Amino acid sequence: MKSNFSLKVCSIYTFIFFLSAFLSIYHGSVKLSFSEVLNSSFAFSSNEYKILELRFNSLMQAALVGAILALSGCVLQRVLRNPLADPFILGISSGGTCFLALFIILSSTQFFSDLSFQNFIPFQSIFTFIGCFLSFFILIFFRKKIKSVNDEYIYPVIGIIINSFFSSISLMIITLARPEQLSEIHNAMIGTLQPITLIQLFIFYTMSIMPIFFLLRNTNYFDLMLFGDDFSKSMGINPVKLRKTSIVMICFLVSLVVSTAGSIGFIGLIIPHMIRRLHRFSARFECILSMILGAIVLINADTLSRSLFSPAQLPLGIFTAILGAPVLAFILIRKKV
């Protein structure tokens, strides 16, 4: 009975997702009608078709970014047993953004210009992965050095330190950047969907399949890890190995997000909490619903960003910060997490 109800809820969220996707394609600074799009599909050089292609790529990118961030936050909150865990709050995204800014600076140097195979290797994602993984390594290192049992607040405090450190380095990198590089670094720091082609979109989806599959496959174990490592070991689980592997997968997913959309905050925090307040399901359904709702939120945020002050387009990071900051304050006040 619980499983059927879960599938029913998933169906409702899926319907909302497709509705949001439909509105995202046809609504924006330039409104399209269904008849215009149908006619333009036979004329690939028409303006309507070009607008449709750009919005479809942006839609698919926003959906995957929102799903990844929501899934990452949901898993982190379970494996770390911390309700405030989030890639943005813990500083993972800021480390990736800092190394992305470093890559933007280095990409114009003679060293990268001499690499004949640079177009076939995703150096941008490699740099962001190093930054994300380094941030989490610093987080775990400081947590072991701090003699406190209150993980609920220690992790976010260490995350503030990491965010401040890497943000300062990013600002220093900005001072060394060329004028044509400033816009790209600025967009990465505030969180903006970068223009992406169908080939890049296909690579983005392909590279994220394996980590997402791994995390969803082990969701049942994440439920057991909430009761502590000793209980997990008694159930035949190696919690240390599973935690480390899950964190590496999350760092890889976040690096993909940062390399394509910059640092977008609070999605991984607010979405899992919204799902828990609305529903009481197992970790598997919670992660699946979090992914769908995360995609819905970011798709609608993308639609608003290009519609409210058209023809100007606001960064997505602004909308997520406006939504996420009050939610974080509410969680801290209520402490019913």
**Residue ranges of domains in the chain, CATH in brackets:** 32-335 (1.10.3470.10)
Percent of the chain with pLDDT over 90: 28
Query: Is 227's pLDDT higher than 50?
Result: yes
- Distance, in Å, from the CA atom of 232 to the CA atom of 239, rounded to the nearest integer, reads 6
Query: Is 261's pLDDT higher than 60?
Result: yes
pLDDT tier, 32 (very low <50, low <70, confident <90, very high otherwise): low
Mean pLDDT of 235-263: 89
Q: What is the pLDDT of residues 79-90, one digit of tens each?
A: 888 888 889 888
Closest by alpha carbon to 60, among 197, 247, 255, 168?
Answer: 197
Amino acid letter for position 161? I
Q: What is the pLDDT of residues 54-73, one digit of tens each?
A: 888 889 999 999 999 999 99
Q: State the pLDDT at residue 120.
A: 46
Q: What does DSSP assign to residue 44?
A: T
How many residues can be counted in the chain? 337
As a dihedral over the C-alpha atoms of residue 139, residue 234, residue 288, residue 97, rounded to 10 degrees, the angle is 10
Query: Is 48's pLDDT higher than 80?
Result: no
Q: State the pLDDT at residue 36.
A: 56
Cα 87 to Cα 14, 74, 117, 281, distances in angstroms? 25, 10, 32, 23
Query: Is 96's pLDDT higher than 50?
Result: yes
Both tokens assigned to 200: 């890049």
pLDDT tier, 17 (very low <50, low <70, confident <90, very high otherwise): very high
Sequence-distant (6+) residues with CB within 8 A of 242 are: 79, 218, 221, 225
Q: State the pLDDT at residue 185.
A: 86
Q: State the pLDDT at residue 1.
A: 39
Query: Is 95's pLDDT higher than 60?
Result: yes
- Distance, in Å, from the CA atom of 132 to the CA atom of 92, rounded to the nearest integer, reads 5
Q: What's the distance, CA 109 to chain centroid?
A: 29
Q: State the pLDDT at residue 284.
A: 85
pLDDT tier, 331 (very low <50, low <70, confident <90, very high otherwise): confident
pLDDT tier, 115 (very low <50, low <70, confident <90, very high otherwise): low
Contact 86, 324 (CB under 8 A): no
Q: Is 101 in a helix, a strand, or coil?
A: helix
pTM for the whole structure = 0.89
Closest by alpha carbon to 84, among 334, 332, 333?
Answer: 332
pLDDT tier, 111 (very low <50, low <70, confident <90, very high otherwise): low
Determine if residue 81 is left, alpha or beta; phi over 0 gives left, psi from -120 to 50 gives alpha, anything else beta.
left
Q: State the pLDDT at residue 39.
A: 58
- Distance, in Å, from the CA atom of 57 to the CA atom of 38, rounded to the nearest integer, reads 18
Query: Is 125's pLDDT higher than 60?
Result: yes
Cα 257 to Cα 100, 183, 236, distances in angstroms? 11, 18, 34
Amino acid letter for position 22? F
Mean pLDDT of all residues in the chain?
Answer: 83
DSSP letter for each residue of 290-312: HHHHHHHHHHHHHHHHTTTTTTS
As a dihedral over the C-alpha atoms of residue 133, residue 135, residue 139, residue 145, rounded to 10 degrees, the angle is 100
Query: For the ranges 183-187, 215-219, 262-266, 325-329, which has the lowest average pLDDT?
Result: 325-329
